Amino acid sequence: MLGSTLVTDLESVSADLKLVENVGWLHEVSKATAGESRLEMCIQCGSCGGSCPAAVDMDHTPRHLFALIRAGERDDVLRSNTPWICVSCYQCVVRCPQNIHITDVMYALKGMAVRAGLYQESTAPDFSQTFIDMVEEYGRSYEFGLATRHYLKHFPLRLPGMAPMGFGMLSKQRMAIRPKRIKNMAQLDAILARAKEVEGRDGGEA
């Protein structure tokens, strides 16, 4: 009798611990989000998935993803393609009855997935990284470099089909072959270097 009570207690304690762990992971996502994520407020109504123009290509709808976050399914969440398919249209954000900053939560999840090395498909993270590399190099985006580097790596077979469009953009001078660089690149370098330090040091707490 006493034994079975003890077992029940242990089970309930372990369930509690799991709950605490899950809440910890939920908070981690919430903290990594810029602004107040309000992720804890999700009532699982599904307005987000129903509003999403790209949901058909997602492995989990946003609502489902938030349920997984709450259940502590860290690896599943960070492997999901959902944040990478998100087109940042903010349709879900304005329809969410709980005012959750859904798009920014998606951004936070992308960063976490890259750091955890769990997202296997490389096209989207590579594109972001290439864009960032260009901006860190020139202080401006550099479409020609970005598009050619990205398409060569990820869609080489689509390049011939894209040629007329690229040619049109170049001939109409809507795409520059040479990048533009800002004057005070040293200042931007210093700011970004310090920002990375700060994010590494305080990122988890902020």
Residue 203 binds to other proteins (criterion: CB under 8 A):
yes
Query: What's the min distance (Å) between Cβ of 9 and other proteins?
Result: 39
Out of 30, 61, 80, 91, point to the residue binding other proteins (CB under 8 A).
91
Q: Interior CA angle at 50 toward 94 and 116, to 5°?
A: 80
Choice between 71 and 118, CB closer to other proteins: 118
Which residues ranging from 163 to 192 are in contact with other proteins (CB under 8 A)?
163-169, 171-176, 180, 182-184, 187-188, 190-192
Which residues ranging from 29 to 68 are in contact with other proteins (CB under 8 A)?
32, 34-36, 53-54, 56-57
DSSP state letter for 50 = H
Choice between 22 and 148, CB closer to other proteins: 148
**Number of residues binding to other proteins, judged by CB under 8 A:** 76
Choice between 25 and 131, CB closer to other proteins: 131
CB 197 within 8 A of CB 152: no
Residue 20 binds to other proteins (criterion: CB under 8 A):
no
DSSP state letter for 204 = T
Residue 97 binds to other proteins (criterion: CB under 8 A):
no
Query: What's the min distance (Å) between Cβ of 102 and other proteins?
Result: 10
Which residues ranging from 108 to 167 are in contact with other proteins (CB under 8 A)?
108, 110-111, 114, 123-125, 127-129, 131-132, 135, 139-141, 143, 146-147, 150, 154-155, 158, 161-167
Q: Strand, coil or helix: what is 73?
A: coil
Alpha helices for the chain (secondary structure H): 2-32, 47-51, 62-70, 74-79, 82-85, 91-95, 102-116, 123-138, 143-154, 159-171, 185-202
Out of 45, 153, 195, 204, point to the residue binding other proteins (CB under 8 A).
195
CA contacts within 13 A on the Cβ side of 99:
2
Spell 83-122 as b/e; 16+ CB within 10 A means b. bbbbeeeebbbeebeeebbbbbbbbbbbbbbeeeeebeee
